[in-house]
Amino acid sequence: MAVSVHHQQQETDGNAIEQLIAATREDMDNVNTLILERAHSHVDMVPELARYLIESGGKRLRPMLTVAAARMFGNSGGSAVRFAAAVEFMHNATLLHDDVVDESDMRRGRPAARMVWGNKASILVGDFLLGQAFMMMVETRDVGALAVLAAASAAMAEGEVFQLAKTKDLDTTPEDYAEVIRAKTAVLFRAACEVGAMAGGADEAGREALSRYGLELGTAFQLVDDVLDYGGQSGTLGKNVGDDLREGKMTLPIILALSDATPAEHQTIANTLGKADASEFEVQQVVTILTRYDTLSRTLSKAHEHAQAAIEALGGLADSSMKSILARVVEHSVSRAY
């Protein structure tokens, strides 16, 4: 029976994303055209590197949220498409810089851009994408939405610095962690949804609802990502499992475990955290401790709370098929961890 329920849930979840894709296909065709156009440069390395990353099969969830939010309020015309492309550029600029900062070898299942073109090109092409994002935003002449995106850009960088400062810091608190994931993930989700609503012609309440929705969805999304990095709820080792641990990232499963652990367990975690060449066995030892204190499940409970808050944020808005799709996207984002 459990298997069957699980199976059914997966199908429903699949449908949620598929429904979002279907509901935004027309707008996303325009977004994708604009993305290709704006990744162009007569400097060959720019489009080569940018397209390598952008076309590497990311789901483009953020720009889909932007155009979905706009469509929900009736207007998915020019500005929403520009904002969506800008949001995707901001996201990819961040990925390029993050991979340099984290010394990541892989991204989306293939060598990170920095492994192909080098760190230097990754830094500079990231800067280029950020500049192009800003140009697209300016073209909308919507100063209010520009302010939202500019603030998101600064907050994201600030959050990355904070995360860097907290690397391997065993005294990192759950509050510190909440701040990190807010800045590194939730803020861009929020901005993506908020400017979509603004471009769609939402009133103040609609804008606030989508802003809250994006923030809570982004938070849930990152919590789930951080659980997936340890193999999901079951803590099953697989591809890329333990990356955060090897990079010394203080995510909630680790923070919660450290506060409950015995001195010996504490030492085991401390020894492995930030050890770039930690073996699968060493990672497994840490995952065993996380499982012992149930911190993967406890992190997922947190994700569920934020997912619930995201759905509730939409509560005051008129019912529509887009609204129900957005609600189900939240459920999907959490169900990834099971």
- Which positions lie near its own copies, rule CB under 8 A? 41, 43-46, 97, 100-101, 119-121, 123-125, 127-128, 130-132, 134-135, 137-139, 141, 143, 146-147, 150-151, 153-158, 160-162, 164-165
d(CA 309, CA 303): 10
**Rounded least distance, CB 131 to its own copies, Å:** 3
d(CA 243, CA 11): 29
* Cβ neighbours around 262 below 10 Å, total: 10
User: What is the amino acid identity at position 27?
Assistant: D
DSSP H/E element including 106: strand 106-107
**Rounded least distance, CB 154 to its own copies, Å:** 3
Nearest by Cα to 82 from 145, 125, 155: 145
Biggest alpha carbon–alpha carbon distance for the chain: 59
**Rounded least distance, CB 108 to its own copies, Å:** 21
Buried/exposed code over 37-73 (b: 16+ C-beta within 10 A; e: otherwise): ebbeeeeeebbbbbebbbeeebebbbbbbbbbbbbbb
Nearest residue (CB) to its own copies, 94 versus 291: 94
**Rounded least distance, CB 144 to its own copies, Å:** 9
**Rounded least distance, CB 250 to its own copies, Å:** 15
Nearest residue (CB) to its own copies, 117 versus 213: 117
**Rounded least distance, CB 86 to its own copies, Å:** 11
The DSSP-derived string for 288-301 is: HHHHHTTHHHHHHH
Nearest residue (CB) to its own copies, 116 versus 237: 116
User: What is the amino acid identity at position 231?
Assistant: G
Nearest residue (CB) to its own copies, 21 versus 101: 101
Nearest residue (CB) to its own copies, 144 versus 174: 144
Nearest by Cα to 202 from 316, 116, 297, 312: 316
Nearest residue (CB) to its own copies, 123 versus 278: 123
Q: Would you say 47 and 41 are in contact if contact means Cβ atoms under 8 Å apart?
A: yes
Nearest residue (CB) to its own copies, 7 versus 120: 120
Nearest residue (CB) to its own copies, 115 versus 157: 157
- Owner of token pair 């938070």: 219
Centroid of chain to Cα 245:
18
**Rounded least distance, CB 44 to its own copies, Å:** 7
**Rounded least distance, CB 103 to its own copies, Å:** 9
Nearest by Cα to 224 from 332, 334, 298, 308: 334
